[in-house]
Every structure is written in structure tokens, then in C-alpha cells.
Amino acid sequence: MHSHDDDDHSHLTDTEARVRALESLLSEKGYLDSAAVDEIVQTYETKIGPQNGAHVVAKAWCNPEFNAWLKDDATAAIHSLGYTSRQGEHMVAVFNSIDTHHLIVCTLCSCYPWSVLGLPPTWYKSPPFRSRAVIEPRSVLADFGLELPASTKIEVHDSTAEIRYLVIPQRPDNTESMNETDLAKLVTRNAMIGTALVKAPGATS
């Protein structure tokens, strides 16, 4: 395990604080429309930060040894692919199955492992989403169009300063002939936080 000095409170880099200073000052004065800024950012939310997690997921599907390593020590397995984040956070991979579906919440903080997962979606940052996801995850997932069988248990994971989660979705059917590179293209940010499943190419549901 690692430790750093901001384990129990939030932390902004100087750059992040400068960005927030500009945004808060200029929107208070009416020069900037925060909602419009969020909307512009949202346009790019899936393009921000390398979504290295997709590679991790595809490798786990194709390579049983890597899969086992990921289960055992996700931090080391992910780093072995050259993906490190600035805070060197401890990563845990949780594996979806027919029996269990994993959903990750948190992400309000600068500790979100965006270098692995991409940027968190804007709706993730709303406190109502977070509390509802914990209380009634099944209905939250249904809101995203993800209806899980009643027999599938849903586990909700709240990332902490110490542990960040990555969901390894189930490999879709009929993808046996696909290689790692092509599989990685199927893996979306939402699948890696547990609000979507991975679909085979051409699948409609």
C-alpha cells in the first residue's frame, strides 16, 4: 500500500486551482456561463484523457494470465502496460459476471483515475446520482437503459483516496474471432464504470 499526505481531504493542483479561479470569478461577473462551459466540455468528455482502461479490459479478456494478475494485483498489472497516473493510486479491478454487476461511484474529486477510465461523465458529479446509486442502483442503471436480470446482484463501489476501481465488463458473445486491438474499441468509458455493458459489433441490445 502507498500513502500520501492528502489521504483524507481533497487536493487541487496549482493549475486546477487557477482554472477554477478563472471560472468562478468570470462567471460571477457574468462574463462566462458555467452551464455553457460544462456543455462544451461534455462534448469532449469521451475524448479527454487516454482511455487506457479499454486496453486493460481487452487484454484481460484475451489473456488468462493477465486476467489472473489483474484480479490479484490490478495496480501492478495496469502499470505493466505502461499506464501510470500522477498519484500512483491503488487500483482494484472488479469483474462483472452473470451473477454480479459492479457499479462505481465517487469521482467528485481530482483523484478520479481519468488516465485509465477517461473523464467522468458530467452527471456522475451530481450528488443525487451518487446517493441514489448507493440506495437504489438497479433503478439508476435502468435510467441509463441498463436493465439487469433480478437474479444479478449489483455491487456498488465507492472509490476512496486509497482505492480506485475499474470494472472489467463481461466479454460480449460472438467476439471470439476478434483480437485485442479490435476488442478494446468496443470498451466504452461507461462500461468501465459499470453503467453500460459492452456490446458486440452490430448488436442492438
Partner 1 sequence: MNDVNLSSLPDMVLVDDEPVFNEPWEAQAFAMVINLHQKNAFSWSEWATALSAEIHSGEQRSYYQHWLHALENLVASKSLTTSTALVARKNEWHEAAARTPHGDPIELNR
Which residues are known catalytic residues? Answer: 106, 109-111
Distances (CA, A) of 25 to 17, 18, 21, 39: 12, 11, 6, 19
Q: What does DSSP assign to residue 171?
A: P
Q: Applying CB under 8 A, does 143 fall inside the site for partner 1?
A: no
| Region near partner 1 per CB under 8 A, out of 60-68, 93-101, 156-164, 170-178 | 156-164
Of 205, 193, 177, 194, nearest to 61 (Cα)? 177
CA pair distance 72, 126, nearest whole angstrom: 32
Please say which residue, 18 or 153, places its beta carbon nearer to partner 1. 18
Report the C-alpha gap between 59 and 79 in whole angstroms.
Answer: 13
Please report whether residue 114 would count as binding partner 1 according to CB under 8 A: yes
Query: Are the C-beta atoms of 121 and 190 separated by less than 8 Å?
Result: yes
Query: Does 67 contact partner 1 by CB under 8 A?
Result: no
Q: Is 150 in the site for partner 1 (CB under 8 A)?
A: no
Stretch that binds partner 1, among 63-71, 76-84, 101-109, 133-141 (CB under 8 A): 101-109
Nearer to partner 1, 6 or 182 (CB): 6
Q: Please choose, from the candidates 91, 86, 84, 56, the residue with its C-alpha nearest in 3D space to the C-alpha of residue 164.
A: 91
* Member of 4, 37, 142, 185 binding partner 1 (CB under 8 A): 37
Which residues here bind partner 1, judged by CB under 8 A? Answer: 6-26, 29, 31-33, 36-38, 40-41, 43-45, 47-50, 106, 108-109, 111, 114, 119, 125, 127, 158-161
